[in-house]
Structure 1
Amino acid sequence: DTAGYTDQIFGLFHLFGIRFAPRIRDLSECVLFSFNNTEEFYKTIKDIVKGRINVKSITDDYESVLKLAHSIFIGKVSASLILEKLGSYSRKNSMAKALREMGKIEKTIFILEYISDKNFRRRIQRGLNKGEAMNALARAIFFGKFGEFRRRALQEQLQSASALNIIINAITIWNCVYLNKAVDHLKQNGGFDESLLNNISPLGWKHINFLGEYKFDLNQNGHLKELNL
């Protein structure tokens, strides 16, 4: 989302062969970049194409940027650490500047596609909705102490976060088991549209008991409840 994007992230994603597609707040205020003189080549959109790409900066440090991306790719260094370091470097740092210039190219292409392609915008929104659904499930589970980590020690906070992830994964897997059973049932009766799978999510929790007593019958382990279709 908006808080998680920079020009350098756009550049790194491109080097990894992955399309970075965030939702950017105040998109109309973003500056687009070009290689050419905007007055001559982009007369109709010259008011929004205000930046110029420094090609020399990219060519001079391209090898260094590739080495940096390779170090991240093979796991020699974490992406979060590298981005933190790059963010702290002076704007005059040549490698950071080269990656930033590459990112400006990718960001410009992304923005132009975003504003001109309705289906592209919908795909991004669907992806964001999945993330929001995961966050909503986490909030529903983590209701104790108003959803706040009250322990001071970092290790104890990490343990609480890990426990939350385990529960989220358990609910997701259990939902997938039942969704698979429901799909098989509908297929056997010849009434299932495969295209609907793209709109199904295993993140629902209305049927999950977050409160009260939990009773486990070892003799019933592995059995599924009947479907109410």
Structure 2
Amino acid sequence: MLKLHDFCNRAGKRIRSDIIAEQWDDVLRLVGSIKAGHVAPSVMLRKLAAYERQNQLDVALQEIGKIERTLFMLDWLENPDLRRRCHAGLNNSEQRHALTQAIYTFRQGRIIDRSHEAQKYRASGLNLVIAAIVYWNTIYMDAAAQHLRSTSVAVPDDLLAHTSPVGWEHIAFSGDFLWDRAAASNGRKALNLPPDSRVA
């Protein structure tokens, strides 16, 4: 039977297990500090990256990372359910990215402001618009499901779990976003139903 260590060495660069063994006590201390909340992972990564020469603890963590990636690869190959979940998450991320580009298309999906403050302001506004679209879609998807159920149409929850509120084909992105007018409006627009249907 092929051992994990041998698989790692054959699948990619050789695992430097000697460095992991040398730095194991420091690795455990680092993990204990992070779990106890004494240091944030981001702070520790910045400190390790700040050394002029590569720190041996940093090298050991990279080698452990190779092992973790190999374990994930094995799970990925053997577990179809894991592949489905990962693809679903990737599809959601790609859909949101596509929505971001659709909103920001007149600047080719790029934030070109020079100052950091202006970039943050622009990114915050973009996230607000995306959140408004997701909220709008969620409200109307729920209303549509409730309407279908009121007309005795089966809407299984397990199928609803595969729907996403990140669609935008029904939204016109040209023009201005009139937040005040939207806030002053009462109620919500009716569902777009066929002529022979009516909302319960």
TM-score (norm 1): 0.67
Secondary structure of the structure 2 residue equivalent to 1:147: coil
101 and 91 in structure 1: CA distance in 2 versus 1, 3 angstrom threshold? farther
CA contact (8 A) 1:86 1:96 kept: yes
Residue correspondence of structure 1 range 55-74 to structure 2 within 5 A: 55-57=20-22, 59-70=24-35, 74=37
**1:75 and 1:157, CA in 2 relative to 1: closer, same or farther beyond 3 A?**
farther
Unmatched 5+ stretches in structure 2: 195-200
Counterpart in the other structure of 1:48:
11
Residue 68 of structure 1 and its aligned partner are, at CA, apart by 4.7
Distance 2:134 2:64 in 1: 38
Quote the sequence identity (%): 31
Greater Rg by CA: 2
Does residue 196 in structure 1 map to residue 159 in structure 2? yes
2:129 to 167, 172, 179: 167
Instruction: Tell whether 2:71 aligns with 1:109.
Output: yes
Q: What is the deviation of 1:125?
A: 1.5
Q: Is the 8 A contact 1:113 1:120 kept in 2?
A: yes
Partner of 2:198: none
Q: What value does the CA root-mean-square deviation take over the aligned residues?
A: 3.2
Residues 29-78 of structure 1 deviation map (CA, whole Å, 9 limit, x = unaligned): xxxx834xx3xxx7xx974375353452453213322145337xx59646
Aligned partner (choices 86, 91, 98) of residue 136 of structure 1: 98
What CA distance in whole angstroms lies between the structure 2 residues aligned with 1:94 and 1:131? 35
TM-superposed CA distance for 1:153, in Å, is: 1.0
Structure 1 position 97, deviation (Å): 3.1
| Structure 1 runs not aligned, ≥5 long | 1-32
Q: Which amino acid aligns with 1:228?
A: L
Aligned match of 1:221:
186
Q: How many residues in Structure 1 have an aligned counterpart in Structure 2?
A: 188
Question: For 1:207 and 1:63, how far apart are their aligned partners in 2?
Answer: 53
The residue that corresponds to 1:122 in the other structure is 84
Q: Residues 212 and 62 (structure 1 numbering): CA distance in 2 closer, same or farther, change over 3 Å?
A: closer
Question: How far apart in 2 are the matches of 1:75 and 1:164?
Answer: 35
In the TM superposition, what is the alpha-carbon distance from 1:209 to its structure 2 partner?
A: 1.9
* TM-score, normalization by structure 2: 0.76
Structure scoring higher RCO (CA < 8 A, sep ≥ 6) equals 1
Contact kept, 8 Å, 1:89 with 1:96, in 2: the verdict is: no
Q: Return the letter of the residue paired with 1:69.
A: I
